Amino acid sequence: MRIVVIGTSGAGKTTLARTIARRLDLVHIELDALNWQAGWRDLVRSDPTEFARRVAAAMRVDGWVADGNYAVVRDLLWRNASHLVWLDYERPVIMRRVIGRSLLRLVLRTELWAGNRERWRFLLQPSHPILWAWRTWAALRQATAELIGRTEYAHLNVLRLRRPGEAQQAVGTLVAATRAER
């Protein structure tokens, strides 16, 4: 099984992808971890070819769960995936999650990727996940719905989750699908 978990910043993509990977004994591909380099340098802007190479290399296993919304590798992931789990939660849910996560990371000084940590001064930057989630929520939702409708992605089994409580049911659905494949 090859699964992509998508959703706006703060939706819980990585948390759900880790859960699915653990339950199905699949490799977890965290796109943020492949993208972000020391000093908050991101490969998507500085070296998109290298980012795509890293994602392709990570996908060279029988089964995987990838999480993220990077347009530069979307087609690569989606064309090779069997399932797409879309965390399509309402804006208040997203904002509560992304604000809580960001503040917790700030207070605890949590290391994210390549030694990077959130900083208080980052909160006001347009690219910070809180502002990014607020600004892009509606457009991302509309764009995702349109992308899923394209014929090149008709092979995907799409699980569109509207409420966080549906996540456990989705995991159960994927576990059952794995058992049916065996």
Q: What is the pTM of this model?
A: 0.94
**Using one digit for the tens of pLDDT, what is the confidence trace for 97-110?**
999 999 999 999 99
**Using one digit for the tens of pLDDT, what is the confidence trace for 15-27?**
999 999 999 999 9
How much is the CA Rg of the chain, to the nearest whole Å? 16
Range of the structural domain that residue 82 is part of: 2-181
Neighbours of 162 (CB within 10 A): 12
Over residues 140-166, the mean pLDDT reads 96
Number of domains in the chain: 1
The CATH number given to whatever domain includes residue 47 is 3.40.50.300
Please tell me the distance from the alpha carbon of residue 149 to that of residue 68, in angstroms, as a whole number.
19
pLDDT, position 177 = 86
Q: Is the pLDDT of residue 143 over 90?
A: yes
